[in-house]
Amino acid sequence: MRIAVASGKGGTGKTTVAVNLAVTVARSGRQVHLCDCDVEEPNAAIYLDPQLGPAVPVSTPIPVVDNDLCNHCGQCAAICEFNAIACLPRQTLVFPDLCHSCSGCWLVCPEQAITQADRVLGEVSVGSAGSIGFTQGVLRIGETVVPPLIHTVKATVRGAPWVILDAPPGTTCPAVEALRGADFALLVTEPTPFGLHDLDLAVKLARGLDIPCGIVENRAIPGRDIVDRYCAEMDLPVLARIPFTRDLAAVGSEGGLLVDADADVAAAFTQLLDELVGLEARA
């Protein structure tokens, strides 16, 4: 079972849900691997304190032009949709930051004047936190191409029957890459207009990718039922609810696990796991 933990809005508690669920799965005797796919701002390690192997650089191919071989025909610049290569009368220039690594320029070059070099996007490390397998990716500061790094993070998982993908916020390329191939999306929201507005975007994304989804309401406040009303309207199950208290906020702020701090929250996560096990059995 591959579970993506996602949300349109940032800061709703994706990582909190991902790490507490991973611990709950592991304590139930199941083998689980957590992938921190929020490579722009990876935080899961703060909660799980994993032992990590060496950080392995992840790169993407970019063109290098041999100006001695180049005949300045301009086909490379013509095929590039991203303005990453410019063909001048005496020189062909590459702008590596704009390159999407589509390989068009070196495939089209009639003189074989373009070879490939590596642009480092970031690094990936694999390890474990107790019995929980763990992978994280870290984007290089200033880099803007994110999906290949997330792809590499996900590709490190070997054989664990339960995989939890801690996704980045938003609904564009990085979130799509994290969600792709998931069996189920747990969408984390909070009972505010911002949370709900962005939850709706996340639901559209999950449904667009054909991934069934359920909701975790975080920072729930008694009597505020806007999440319930939305979920009823959209025919979405609310699978768990985590209350807002200053004590829980303090535990989370220090990188603590809510399932260790509060018996009711631990019970909510056990019930969430039961729901997911049931979904898997029915699938």
Partner 1 sequence: MKELVVLSGKGGTGKTSVTAALAALGAGEVLADCDVDAANLHLVLGTHGEAAHPFVSGHTAVIRTDDCSDCGECARLCRFDAILAETVAGRIRFRVDPIACEGCGVCVHFCPSGAIDFPSSTCGWWGTSRTRFGALIHAALDVGAENSGKLVTLVREQARKAATAAGADLVLVDGPPGIGCPVTASLTGADLVLLVTEPSLPALHDLGRIRELARHFAVPVVVCINKCDLNPRLSDRIAEFCRDQGIPVVGRIPFDPLAGDAQIAGVSLVEFAPESPAAAALAAMWEDIRGALATAPQPKG
SS (HEC) of 73-139? CCHHHHHCCCCCEEECCCCEEECHHHCCCCCHHHHHCCCCCEEEEEEEEEEEEEEEECCEEEEEEEE
- Under rule CB under 8 A, residue 234 binds partner 1: no
The Cα-based distances of 92 to 77, 80, 82 in angstroms read: 9, 13, 15
> Helices 226-234 and 193-208 sit at what angle, rounded to 10 degrees?
20
Size, binding site for partner 1 by CB under 8 A:
59
Sorted by sequence, the CB contacts under 8 Å of residue 141 that are 6+ apart come out as: none
**Amino acid letter, residue 36:** D
- Under rule CB under 8 A, residue 146 binds partner 1: yes
- Under rule CB under 8 A, residue 192 binds partner 1: yes
Q: Which stretch binds partner 1 (CB under 8 A): 11-19, 64-72, 124-132, 262-270?
A: 11-19
In angstroms, give the least distance from the CB of 247 to partner 1: 10
Q: Which stretch binds partner 1 (CB under 8 A): 28-36, 48-56, 162-170, 269-277?
A: 162-170
Q: Per the structure block, which two tokens stand in for 259?
A: 């399932």
Q: Which stretch binds partner 1 (CB under 8 A): 62-70, 79-87, 260-268, 273-281?
A: 79-87
In angstroms, give the least distance from the CB of 33 to partner 1: 21
In angstroms, give the least distance from the CB of 136 to partner 1: 12
**The only residue of 32, 77, 139, 257 in contact with partner 1, by rule CB under 8 A:** 139
**The only residue of 63, 133, 137, 168 in contact with partner 1, by rule CB under 8 A:** 168
Judged on CB neighbours under 10 Å (0-12, 13-18, 19+), 144 is exposed
Residue 150 CB-half CA count within 13 A: 24
**CB-CB contact of 183 with 3 (8 Å):** yes
When the beta carbons of 10 and 278 are compared against partner 1, the nearer one is 10
- Under rule CB under 8 A, residue 274 binds partner 1: no
- Under rule CB under 8 A, residue 210 binds partner 1: no
- Under rule CB under 8 A, residue 10 binds partner 1: yes
The secondary element (H helix, E strand) that includes residue 243 is: strand 238-243
Sorted by sequence, the CB contacts under 8 Å of residue 229 that are 6+ apart come out as: none
What span, in angstroms and rounded, lies between the C-alpha atoms of 252 and 257?
7
In angstroms, give the least distance from the CB of 159 to partner 1: 22
Q: What are the residues binding partner 1 (CB under 8 A)?
A: 8-12, 15, 38, 40-41, 43, 46, 79, 81-82, 100-104, 107-108, 139, 141-146, 168-176, 180, 191-194, 197-198, 201, 204-205, 208-209, 221, 224, 226, 246, 249-250, 252-255
